[in-house]
Chains A and B, each alone.
Chain A
């Protein structure tokens, strides 16, 4: 019991002291195709060794009956291989509905659980999209993380993703 308290306190304090915002804008291109379905998108943070440091968001059909949407999560292939297959979906705060074509902005509190245990260092934000009867694409934006750090970055996809911009603020 004492251990739990001792572990919990620094985490809460770190969060409280450095809470900032990671803002990510993901552009989903408008495609002129016969059969269009919104892409499934996974957003995660990868550390310098290629391991998943934090799962930020997964956009999929969370409302289909019998969790039918989960059937296609394996098609977000790199995410599935690196972390998805180990997870028990849905996950509160990570599972999210699919988004329409256009610019979709999502914000993450850097005082939250995803960042609490993230040591300072080099990371990448990875955005991977996979569209039913469509293609797949992955873009990545490198950034330096330290509690309280500020950073910006961007990357552009060619097919399934448009501009992806990243802003880390205190």
Chain B
């Protein structure tokens, strides 16, 4: 029973990844403020998957999948959470000084192979992959998909954001809560802790509903995973990057697909 439940969760996670990729709906976690001050600092946060940024019009983000990491590395539970038709809303009290990371991260294994003209699909764990003999299927392709959707909020001075070392993620050179219009921003992207070279990063300003064109900015990471960009206008931005590669898990070849999304606020410089 436990295994079944676990398998369903993984399946759901993978399914949501696939839906995300197929329909290009945008997932986001949007804080009411990214820079706060004082000893009683709160932010209210929305999580959703939508077409326009940042207008909830499709699905709420699953509240159970959201994790909050305090500046000291401890976990904080969201409070006053509500899952609505189009968005999930919750509050966060910033009891510590420094940077909080609010994220939804998941990953899952899936495989596909051909039986005659039919494409078979499978999802599960590495142990099941071997136990069920999926690894022996002719021409099987195993893919590890991971996705991280996050945002950052700072009370007082920005503090260090420790990389998770899992999947594609942003490693600050310029702190994500220290972004100003007209000033060059430098980020580094890593994939499983290694520099993510030659990865396309797309940045779109919120409020695209009111523009004829999204006006997306596309930049590529260099060999060391760094990317530089300058945003002329202050506002909330949605950043997305995706990397594909191959690696191995327990001696089996694996395709990896990793998606990263961050909501970033650029203040008037």
Interfacial residues, chain A to chain B (CB-CB below 8 A): 66-68, 70-74, 77, 80-81, 84-86
Q: With A77-B268, A86-B157 as given contacts, are A67 and B39 in contact (CB-CB < 8 Å)?
A: yes
Assess the B39–A74 pair: CB atoms within 8 A. no
Contact flags B15-58 to A (C-beta < 8 A → 1, else 0): 00000000000000000000111111100000000000000000
Assembly CA distance A77 to B158 (angstroms): 14
> Could you pull out 10 A-B pairs where Cβ atoms are within 8 angstroms?
A68-B38, A68-B40, A70-B38, A70-B39, A71-B37, A72-B37, A80-B37, A81-B180, A85-B158, A86-B157
Least CB separation from A136: chain B residue = B268
- Chain B interface: which size bin? 10 to 19
> Residue B231 at the A interface, CB < 8 A?
no
Assembly CA distance A62 to B35 (angstroms): 20
Contact partners of A86 in chain B: CB under 8 A: 156-157
Q: Which secondary structure characterizes the binding site on chain A?
A: helix
Assess the B157–A71 pair: CB atoms within 8 A. no
Contact partners of B38 in chain A: CB under 8 A: 67-68, 70-73
Q: With A77-B268, A85-B157 as given contacts, are A66 and B37 in contact (CB-CB < 8 Å)?
A: no
Most buried by A among B37, B39, B154, B156: B37
Assess the A85–B267 pair: CB atoms within 8 A. no
Contact partners of A66 in chain B: CB under 8 A: 39-40
Further 4 A-B residue pairs, CB within 8 A, beyond A71-B41, A74-B37: A70-B38, A72-B38, A81-B178, A81-B267
Assess the B37–A73 pair: CB atoms within 8 A. yes
Contact partners of A74 in chain B: CB under 8 A: 35-37
Assess the B39–A77 pair: CB atoms within 8 A. no
Identify the 5 closest CB pairs spanning chains A and B, nearest first.
A70-B38, A71-B38, A74-B37, A85-B157, A73-B37
The minimal Cβ–Cβ distance linking A82 to chain B, given in whole angstroms, is: 11
